[in-house]
Amino acid sequence: MGSSTASASLRIEGMSCASCVGRVERAIRAVPGVAEASVNLATERADVRFHADAQPIAVVEAIRDAGYATTEETQEFAVEGMTCASCVRRVERALKAVPGVTDAGVNLATGWATVRHIAGIADATAIEAAIESAGYAARPLSSGDDSADRETETRDREFASLRRALIAASLLTLPVFLIAMVPGFGSHPLIEFALATLVLFGPGLRFYRKGIPALLRRAPDMNSLVVLGTAAAWGYSVVATFLPRVLPTGTAHLYYEASSVIVTLILLGRTLEARARGRTSQAIRRLVGLRPKTARVLRDGEARDVPLDEVASGDLVQVRPGERVPVDGAVMEGSSLVDEAMISGEPLPVRKEPGAEVTGGTINKTGSFTVRVSRTGADTLLAQIIRMVEQAQGSKLPIQALVDRVTAWFVPAVMAAAFATFAIWMVFGPRPALGFALVNAVAVLIIACPCAMGLATPTSIMVGTGRAAEWGLLFRKGEALQALRDVGVVALDKTGTLTVGRPELTDLVAAEGFEVDDVLALVAAVEARSEHPIATAIVEAADAKGLARDGVSGFEALPGYGVTATVDGRKVVVGADRLMARHGIGLLPFAEAAARLGEEGKSPLYAAIDGRLAAILAVADPIKGTSPQAIAALHALGLRVAMITGDNRRTAEAIARTLGIDEVAAEVLPAGKVEALRSLRGEDRRIAFVGDGINDAPALAEADVGIAIGTGTDIAIESADVILMSGDVRGVPNAIGLSRATIRNIHQNLFWAFAYNVLLIPVAAGVLYPVSGTLLSPMLAAGAMAMSSLFVLGNALRLRRVAPALALG
């Protein structure tokens, strides 16, 4: 935007009238360098033209100062050529320097850059150019559901290229190594020179193409260290081969084997690293593999197999036995059992009949059915899950900030250490000092690998979040993976989370002389005329038993008391104790049962038939069968468990006693859940909240970690950090256990990455030589460098074997 004709079109949020338009225009025109500004209320856009010296970001600030907001967008880019943590920092720095970019994060393990920018100022072209100016290749990732396929192809190409380079380097290096290291092969300087040169400027050229431009930009990376080390060893050997007289007497040694073996070992490390990094993203590939390529669509009365991207919303799709459901939609005809384990983690198939929702990627087991398509492509649940997992895998945890601070100065510090090593050996080293100085300086350059530092956090995140997806746990925000580890209290909503979420008939005890089914049939016949939730629960219980409901007459509802009616000539009264008292019916036979129900937090109802006490009933929201296991598992993890509910205290405390819950906040109105959460959190405890309803959304957002039941409302899910796709509360201890395992794994990786460099850089510099005569060969340094990255990757992959605290199903 340097020319006077440069322009931008910004979307403005918050304008409501003509005075808003005038206010925004005045604010923009007051910015130095703005030639013209026009704001349109209908389109909510500001078209701005700039002079050469304008700062477009100043326009955005002026709009914000005027009380309005500009729209921001998030784009993802695949970045090729990054090899270490310093590469990550370099790309991030380049992106954040682009006018209009408000935030940028780069992930070494995934090779992705996530950029947040102001729409209308920064665009994909400018962002790509910034990445390329930093020395890397870039392309935008599409929001469609083929991006993961393309990433797999990119990884496969990278691995194949590295493998070819490794094979070539190995074949060329072996003769050089044998000539130099094995007695009997004789001295062949020209052969060594020719083969080593082919290694460095053939398979090893990739290091020079990246490392030399980085040095010229004064932003050295790992490739630069390899370039300096191998070029120094090779260049010294070339001088010793062709101009030995220019070197001090006794120093004309050859180090061709060192330069070529270093390149070969580093290529070996990167090849194995590329293979291991591919394994860290297996969860994504498995999810992508669940997506069928075609669908059998009914068109013009015929079933045709068409590519999935040609299927439209509203189409009818046939699903045959054994096939994967290709789209999201509702069953119109037929029925079957569908395996939804990939969504929920639940192993048992779910019966699908007309009206039931089905999800693309799930497996049809036995029958066949027809689905009316509701969502396709990037809008399907599977595509959304893939995006969530990708975003979580690409996120940075707070712990990564330490790594970023270290890598900011690490490579320049290594280069300084190498030069200091060279100088010290030249001054204080034994003869031939030049040879010792060169070898030890090269060893320092090669062994100091920031790759392990850059991979320590993202690889663990990738494997951990991928493992979570296999369990039906989705981390919408990667930061939650670390935050969950520090949670001390888990607060759960009651209704729909710990309980089923709808009233059910839990108790019916018949009086002497009455049969349970007879009483239930008569009571259900009366309650069928009522719209009360309690009545619905009683009717559903009768229907489940297949009990007939006879004709009803004289129905009367008495608010606060109950209902009365005549059923097939019999007078039926159903209601609270006060209704029985009004009809002069004694309740003494059920005194003991009523006391028991009260202790369980249930309010008893009574039924009388033809003036006689017939039964005591209780309708309640029953506890889910999985809730006791979940609470016990949370206690086993050392956590306190709380429950927040709007129920009366007696009912809430009865449920808490049954489940072993530690703290209860009862009689909480929907608007009071946030305050209840703050009270439970206290001053120094981190708290997670688990809920599923619309009224849970504020509490989910307020908690340090919000965990939404995946079967709940969309707004609750959008407010959460973690989603339990199965709706099974046992996923909560699983998520916390996985969080702890992942952060522990990251700590192990970081300890190794830092300890490796702290210990081995001094060894490479020769600190042990005065004590024991030990020096570290540059070849061993290259092998150790490769092993450090492989150790980190191998340790991260151990997370794939982590077992859930509680198995679902």
Residues catalogued as catalytic: 493
Closest CA to 87 of 116, 103, 109: 109
> Cα(148)–Cα(140) distance, rounded to whole angstroms?
12
Provide the residue type at 47 as one letter: D
Query: CA quadruple 80, 81, 82, 84: dihedral positive or negative?
Result: positive
> Phi and psi of 265, rounded to 5°?
-65, -40
Decide the pairing of beta strands 687-691 and 705-709.
parallel
The one-character DSSP state at 624 is: P
Query: CA quadruple 644, 647, 648, 651: dihedral positive or negative?
Result: negative
In sequence order, which residues have a C-beta less than 8 Å from that of residue 344 and are 6 or more positions away? 472, 710, 725, 726, 727, 728, 808
Q: What count of residues does the chain have?
A: 809
| Total Cβ atoms within 10 A of residue 341 | 19
Which H/E stretch holds residue 657?
helix 649-659
C-alpha angle with apex 563: 561 to 567, nearest 5 degrees? 155
> Cα(559)–Cα(602) distance, rounded to whole angstroms?
19
Which H/E stretch holds residue 39?
strand 34-40
Tell me the CA distances in angstroms from 129 to 98, 126, 474, 627, one per residue in order: 9, 5, 34, 53
> Cα(28)–Cα(14) distance, rounded to whole angstroms?
16
> Cα(380)–Cα(400) distance, rounded to whole angstroms?
32
The one-character DSSP state at 647 is: S
Tell me the CA distances in angstroms from 471 to 358, 466, 550, 757, 796, one per residue in order: 19, 9, 48, 37, 18
- Ordered strands of the 722-724 beta sheet: 473-475, 722-724, 705-709, 687-691, 489-493, 640-644, 663-665
> Cα(92)–Cα(757) distance, rounded to whole angstroms?
24
> Cα(717)–Cα(693) distance, rounded to whole angstroms?
9
